[in-house]
């Protein structure tokens, strides 16, 4: 069931999609904290997860609601750029914009483990790479 706050925010941000960061409460909380601290301005996901019936594909200019693991709105972000690239072609600039690791190698290790947990990791897998900006922090 959608919370009244989500309904209100979707009226304020027409076309907004809802999503959660990460694949666990701990990871989600950590990523939201990185965004709030100004350290995370990019994210990516496996292209396979955006197939018909899956997650909504990000779109430049759209504002979306990031929910915490309890379904409460945490942040409003605006997508500024979307590219499709292979995992092996992600560069240090993008990996550092994700704010999770200090090196490209650390980013690759962490993301490979995440993709292995959620459907497999072929080396040539395609990613949806998104850059965004924080529009509104919904922390109480």
Predicted pLDDT at 140: 77
User: Could you tell me if residue 61 is left (phi over 0), alpha (psi between -120 and 50 degrees) or otherwise beta?
Assistant: left
CATH superfamily of 4-137: Sulfate adenylyltransferase (3.10.400.10)
Rounded average pLDDT over 25-34: 96
The model's pLDDT over 1-24, given as tens digits with 9 standing for 90+, comes to: 678 999 999 999 999 999 999 989
Predicted pLDDT at 123: 78
Rounded average pLDDT over 91-100: 97
Instruction: Give the count of beta carbons closer than 10 Å to the beta carbon of residue 111.
Output: 21
Q: Which residue has the tokens 């301005």?
A: 41
Number of alpha carbons in the 13 Å side-chain half-sphere of residue 61: 0
Cα 5 from Cα 41, distance rounded (Å): 24
Structural domain spans, the chain: 4-137
Cα 64 from Cα 77, distance rounded (Å): 5
Mean pLDDT of the chain: 94
């Amino acid at each position: 069931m959608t919370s009244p706050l989500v309904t209100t925010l979707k009226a304020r941000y027409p076309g907004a999609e809802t999503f959660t960061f990460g694949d666990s409460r701990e990871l989600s909380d950590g990523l939201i904290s990185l965004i709030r601290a100004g350290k995370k301005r990019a994210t990516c996901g496996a292209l396979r997860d955006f197939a018909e019936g899956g997650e909504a594909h990000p779109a430049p200019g759209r504002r979306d609601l990031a929910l915490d693991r309890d379904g409460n709105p945490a942040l409003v972000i605006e997508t500024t750029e979307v590219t499709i690239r292979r995992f092996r072609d992600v560069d240090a600039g993008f990996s550092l914009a994700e704010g999770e690791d200090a090196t490209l190698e650390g980013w690759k290790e962490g993301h490979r483990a995440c993709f292995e947990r959620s459907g497999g990791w072929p080396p040539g897998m395609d990613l949806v790479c998104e850059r965004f900006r924080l529009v509104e922090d919904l922390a109480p």
